[in-house]
Structure 1
Amino acid sequence: MNKVPENIPRRRGKWMASFASKMLNLTGWSVTGDFPQHRKFIIAVGPHTSNWDFLVGCAVMLKFRVKIKILAKDGLFFWPMSSLMHYLGAIPVARGQKSGLVEQIVERFNQEEQMILGLAPEGTRTSGKALKTGFLHIAHQANIPVMPVNLNFKLKQVELLPAVSISSDIDRELEQFIQYFDYQCAKNPQINSTG
């Protein structure tokens, strides 16, 4: 269980992987499920209600030495933070300029032989924000699957769920994705991003 397939893009850093693994063990976190047998896919992590979500996700990424691209607001790319963001595989995104982002990411997937994009469908941890559909449009247009990942803070488990193909019926796919995330087990369950 939790074996990383050979065709998944990997990162260097055995020392960092060992450190991340120890941190997860010390804090009581475990990982269930497996990574899919795909060269390209999106990881959709939810529910996103806390900054801890990002830290737990990064620890899992480093533990398994999986190379994952993430979207991050461009305001985080300042020295010395920019070095860390690049190390984590972050792609800068201007929050106010959202036009063309889906097309840019689709084109990037088309150009790469291997690529994993990790994101939180809510886009923000602010209360009352519903899931956004951008990740579904990217997956459908690039013809790649999406692996849902549920963050269960009650059990302290990062739950890797089976990857799913995305049809052109984005509204129906969105309704399905809401079911993958257990908001009662979020870090801050009072923040319900489904409505």
Structure 2
Amino acid sequence: MTALGGWTIQGSLPDIPKAIIPVAPHTSNWDFFVGVFVKLALGLRLSFLGKYSIFVFPVRGILLWLGGIPIRRDSAHGMVAQMVDEFHRRDQLVLCLAPEGTRSKVTEWRKGFLHIARDAHIPVVPVSFCFKTRTINISEPMTVTDDIDGALDRIKAFTGKAVGKHPELQ
């Protein structure tokens, strides 16, 4: 257990070159800032997906330096295949993302990250941010098989105890 800026980290990220880290719940822009603070404080090399529209001057350079990867969400652009190729092309890529896909309340999480993990043969390491207890919980790595729904259920079970900044949006 590590204390960091008033937050406690339970668990640790495995020392592996490639992984997907789904972080939930995602109910506020503060989630991004907590994640960046942890990344910088611990010296982690993490990347994240962000809406293409936020990668504009003057913040574009900062977002890219922080590990940002701009994506277009307005239509399907073969994102899963592109990210699988990206994982194959790079020696190191640890990708953080919000499986809800938005800060708004959703009934279904996006599953593309699980397809990427399965097809690229990389583990998923679920993480939760609990604003109520100011705790970041890190799970053990999971292998994703063809049972995508089962993998999603396991991730939701791990992150489901955490309380987001705006619990009413969970």
Q: TM-score range by the shorter chain?
A: over 0.9
Q: 1:75 to 1:163 in 2, by over 3 A?
A: same
Number of aligned pairs? Answer: 170
3-state SS of 1:91 partner: strand
Structure 2 residue ranges without an equivalent (≥5): none
Higher RCO (CA < 8 A, seq sep 6+): 2
Bigger mean CA deviation after superposition, 86-95 or 175-184: 175-184
Q: Which residue of 1 aligns with 2:166?
A: 188
Runs of 4+ in 1 over 4 A off after TM superposition: none
Q: CA RMSD, aligned part only? A: 1.6
Give 2:61's aligned amino acid. S
Question: Which of 62, 80, 84 lines up with 1:102 in the alignment?
Answer: 80
Give me the whole-angstrom Cα distance separating, in 2, the residues matched to 1:163 and 1:105: 19
Give me the whole-angstrom Cα distance separating, in 1, the residues matched to 2:50 and 2:15: 26
Structure 1 residue ranges without an equivalent (≥5): 3-20
Instruction: Return the offset for 1:116.
Output: 0.4
3-state SS of 2:44 partner: coil
In the alignment, is the contact (CA less than 8 A) between 2:14 and 2:141 conserved in 1?
Answer: yes
Instruction: Return the offset for 1:181.
Output: 1.1
TM-score by length of 1: 0.82
Instruction: Return the offset for 1:129.
Output: 4.3
Aligned identity (percent) is 38
In the alignment, is the contact (CA less than 8 A) between 1:42 and 1:147 conserved in 2?
Answer: yes
Instruction: Return the offset for 1:113.
Output: 1.3
Q: Which residue of 2 aligns with 1:91?
A: 69
Q: Which residue of 1 aligns with 2:136?
A: 158
Give 1:117's aligned amino acid. L
Give me the whole-angstrom Cα distance separating, in 2, the residues matched to 1:114 and 1:128: 31
Give me the whole-angstrom Cα distance separating, in 2, the residues matched to 1:47 and 1:102: 22
